[in-house]
Structure 1
Amino acid sequence: MNKNILSNLFLAISLLAVASCQMAQKENQNDSTVSKDTVVSQNIKPVESGYADINGLEMYYEVFGKGKPLVLLHGSFMNIPMNWAHIIPLLAKDRKVIVAEMQGHGRTKDIAREFSYEGMADDVSGLLKHLKIDSADILGYSMGGGVAFQVAVRHPEQVRRLVVLSGTYTHDGWWPDVEASFATFTADMFKGTPIQEQYERFGNDPAHFPAFVKKVISIDLKPYDWSGDVKNIKAPVFMAIGDADGVRYEHALELFRAQGGGKMGDIHGLPKSRLAIIPGTTHIGLIQRTDWLIPMITDFLDSKLNSAPPTF
């Protein structure tokens, strides 16, 4: 892949990380009683945080707000503040927001276990049990979207509704050049970025950073296809991608059609699932589109499932 393209991608990741972390750090400076590694934004503080012993992991998590539970699952190489600092306050106004750091990410230390979407999905299931939550809405971004799909496939009884932002359910759900780029990822590309800085600040051995990068990207170097299982998910699904995303339009449309889309709602009624293609938006930029995306997410989570066509 063109080196300039990769450079632009990692610049975008770095800018996203900087923007999210600056929001959290600014608020942290105003409250000396809160750890600098805890998300604090717009005066929202976790009501609970800690580590849960799950499947051999000491899994770090934070809980904000109260109401119906919503679990946020971050993207590759990221952590809670990088991915969610600017989003948590918007969603925790009237619901319980649970954020966790996946295997090897943030404060959840790696273990001698292969990285897999299935394994991380089982970890999320275990966290819900640890928190004594029978079912929750699950929202995943990028890698977290793949984990979210697998939570719904492997633990359907724990999923009320599913939101996937720029995630895929087959390895070729990405544009071909994007999929080809995964094999070129190296630790050197992250040198000097907030991703490397936070990896070290959270107590990880800097010498292990190359192994961390290699292990995380390994899940996207192996072919996978969950089409059959994902298309049969019973929970309502809202999938959103950018029109300049790394995810193919056809990939998102294929799932939407399988979930009841592709019909005129005025005649047949609305499907329980939804699809959004956000204009002027990249893969990295999607979670910065909070002015558009958050109202769509909350409307989906709060909507009543009425598929009947409108009456006049």
Structure 2
Amino acid sequence: MTSTTTAADTAANTATHSAGSKGAGTIAEVNGLQMYYELHGEGSPVVLLHGGLGSGEMFGPVLTLLAEQHRVVLVDLQGHGRTADIDRPLDLHAMADDVAALIDHLGIVGADVVGYSLGGGVALQTAVRHPEKFGRLVMASANINSRAIYPEMREQQRQVSSAALPFMKDTPMFELYQRVAPRPEDFGRLLDKVGEAMLPEFDFTEQVRGLQVPTLVVCADADMAPPSHYVEVFTLLDGGQRDGGWMGEGRPSGGHALAILPGLTHYSLCSSPLFAAATLAFLGDDREPGQPG
């Protein structure tokens, strides 16, 4: 699994958690899952995927800014937020298939998908497995190689389990889950599943190299992995290979882009207006790759 939320994740975003999600929440039956989603705004469709141990609420003002220009489908992934867990591991591929099934359920064609942390990993796998359903992909604070994550963070990830439940009860993640989850008593089960999902080493280099949709790689300048990791991801997408040229003719051939956002961390990026601005600029860029703005 890509970098997902640790015990510290979302804590910096406490102030951005609303007292309750606004918008018409709905349940869709997909792949045996009662998946919760909300629809916000009008315009071209954007599917927005949250980080681990969170829910769509963690985007705070980013949701509002995106919804000013797009029809945002705000999703709670398996076992998170208002989507109850089922008897299935937390697996990026399965969750990607859930997102694809929801897109089909809604009859959306050419959706852009924006994912943060765990949601970024799910978005990546959705683009890999179901490229025909996609317009563009935004992959934020999502690591494609476990070796890139700082060692102390990997150690923290290994400690995520229900044994940590007593220490989690004063955190925003626990408060959110208790407030919105269909079965609030399942938080320890979620911790176990998230912890198990983060244990294996992973490397999605070849999946990234084969991406068929224009992709924006986003990170904080103080993220869970060094900025060089996200530059390497951009390099896999033909980025950073040459001068961009006066007319943009030297930009990556697939329409890919990179944004390293200043003054942010892995935990503050998802609610930052800088993230919204970079995302909106990329999604609103209708140029053919290599054409001038």
Asked if these proteins are the same fold (TM beyond 0.5), I'd say yes
The yes-or-no answer on 1:126 pairing with 2:109 is no
Structure 2 vs 1, CA of residues 206 and 246 (structure 1 numbering), >3 Å: closer, same or farther?
same
Q: Provide the residue aligned with 1:29 in structure 2.
A: none
Q: Does 1 or 2 have the higher relative contact order (CA < 8 Å, sep 6+)? A: 2
**Alignment RMSD (CA, Å):** 2.0
Q: Which structure has more helix as a fraction of its residues?
A: 1
Which one of 250, 267, 273 corresponds to residue 256 of structure 2? 273
1:76 Cα deviation (Å)?
Answer: 0.4
In 1: Cα distance, 2:61 partner to 2:286 partner? 27
Letter in 2 for 1:122: D
In 2: Cα distance, 1:203 partner to 1:19 partner? 20
In 1: Cα distance, 2:237 partner to 2:177 partner? 38
1:215 Cα deviation (Å)?
Answer: 0.6
1:189 Cα deviation (Å)?
Answer: 3.2
Which one of 248, 258, 265 corresponds to residue 236 of structure 2? 258
1:206 Cα deviation (Å)?
Answer: 4.8
In 1: Cα distance, 2:276 partner to 2:83 partner? 27
What SS class does the counterpart of residue 87 from structure 1 fall into? helix
What SS class does the counterpart of residue 81 from structure 2 fall into? coil
In 1: Cα distance, 2:75 partner to 2:263 partner? 29
Q: Provide the residue aligned with 1:191 in structure 2.
A: 169
Structure 2 vs 1, CA of residues 171 and 61 (structure 1 numbering), >3 Å: closer, same or farther?
same
The yes-or-no answer on 1:213 pairing with 2:191 is yes
Q: Provide the residue aligned with 1:49 in structure 2.
A: 25
In 2: Cα distance, 1:277 partner to 1:232 partner? 22
* Unmatched runs of 5 consecutive residues or more in structure 1: 1-8, 26-36, 40-45
1:84 Cα deviation (Å)?
Answer: 2.1
Which one of 3, 10, 13 corresponds to residue 13 of structure 1? 10
What SS class does the counterpart of residue 10 from structure 2 fall into? helix
1:302 Cα deviation (Å)?
Answer: 1.3
The yes-or-no answer on 1:141 pairing with 2:126 is no
The yes-or-no answer on 1:101 pairing with 2:79 is no
TM-score (norm 1): 0.84
What SS class does the counterpart of residue 133 from structure 1 fall into? coil
The yes-or-no answer on 1:175 pairing with 2:150 is yes
Q: Contact 1:238/1:274 (CA < 8 Å) preserved in 2? A: yes
TM-score (norm 2): 0.89
The yes-or-no answer on 1:288 pairing with 2:271 is yes
Q: Deviations over 1:260-284 (max 9, x none)?
A: 2112102652221111112222111
Q: Provide the residue aligned with 1:110 in structure 2.
A: 85
1:62 Cα deviation (Å)?
Answer: 0.3
In 1: Cα distance, 2:152 partner to 2:222 partner? 13
1:207 Cα deviation (Å)?
Answer: 4.2
